Homo-oligomer: A and B are copies of this chain.
Amino acid sequence: MENPFVRKMERHVRLAPEDRAILDGLARQHIRHVAGRQDIEGPHTEPYHTHLILDGWACRYKQFPDGRRAIVALLLPGDLCDPFAFRRGRMDHAIGALTPVTVARITPDQIGDAVRGRPAIEEGLCREMLATTAIHREWIASVGRRSAIERLAHLFCELHLRLTWAGLADGTTLPMPVTQPDLADALGQTSVHINRTLKELRSSGLVILRSRRLTIRDLDGLRERGLFDPAYLQPA
């Protein structure tokens, strides 16, 4: 089983064997397990470590005083949280595990060492950050202007590609270990409506979601339904 982080980085840049070894090393030290529904990094903390997700799904979220929760990003295996978090002081949001999660803790020094004299790694990390920002922009557009079905279809398409690139999708079938309330908080809706929308996607023959696995039955159809254009995810 190959490291999903390395695998993803190789989509951005060509890595020499030593590059690969260095990145792989980051994923093998300081492993930490976090139970589902627990925070990996709480709100208002002053982060020092970066986290690399090795297994399970997590999210960035903001919680309002009255309890409303907005999930602003999904973190999948191979995703790196804030390589430069330590430069910003206090967290303005939290990072929580949606499922049981395995992460590697990485120090700023380790990032610095990995980058030094390794232009491919530097370039790869830079592109990874740009890709993350592009995803953020797409989410703003989604929540702002897509309808409920479009939003859900679009998210499924995005996750399909991201998981494929991390080596975690089985063709057109992907793990989908999150609950409907989680999807609701990610898409700015209620779980009830997510349920309705899911039913509609299912009955149009586009997807099957059962026992935490999503099967896309009609990829082109789903992409059309979600106004999905993979360009924003493509590196270069």
Bound complex: CA of A143 vs CA of B151, how far in Å? Answer: 13
Does A72 lie at the interface of the complex (its beta carbon under 8 Å from any beta carbon of B)? yes
Bound complex: CA of A183 vs CA of B186, how far in Å? Answer: 23
In contact, A137 and B60 (Cβ under 8 angstroms):
yes
A207-236 vs B, Cβ < 8 Å mask (1 yes, 0 no) = 000000000000000000001010110111
Stretch in A22-30, A49-57, A84-92, A196-204 touching the partner: A84-92
Does A126 lie at the interface of the complex (its beta carbon under 8 Å from any beta carbon of B)? yes
Q: Which B residues lie within 8 Å of A68 (CB)?
A: 145
In contact, B87 and A236 (Cβ under 8 angstroms):
yes
Bound complex: CA of A121 vs CA of B65, how far in Å? Answer: 37
Nearest-neighbour CB distance to chain B for A135, whole angstroms, equals: 10
Bound complex: CA of A132 vs CA of B89, how far in Å? Answer: 15
A119-137 vs B, Cβ < 8 Å mask (1 yes, 0 no) = 0000100110010111011
In contact, A93 and B137 (Cβ under 8 angstroms):
yes
In contact, B92 and A231 (Cβ under 8 angstroms):
yes
In contact, A123 and B87 (Cβ under 8 angstroms):
yes
Residues of A85-142 whose CB lies within 8 A of B: 87-90, 92-93, 123, 126-127, 130, 132-134, 136-141
Given the known A-B contacts A126-B87, A136-B140, are A69 and B187 also in contact in the complex, defined by CB atoms under 8 Å? no
Chain A interface residues toward B at CB < 8 A: 44, 60, 62, 64-65, 68-73, 84, 87-90, 92-93, 123, 126-127, 130, 132-134, 136-141, 143-145, 185-188, 227, 229, 231-232, 234-236
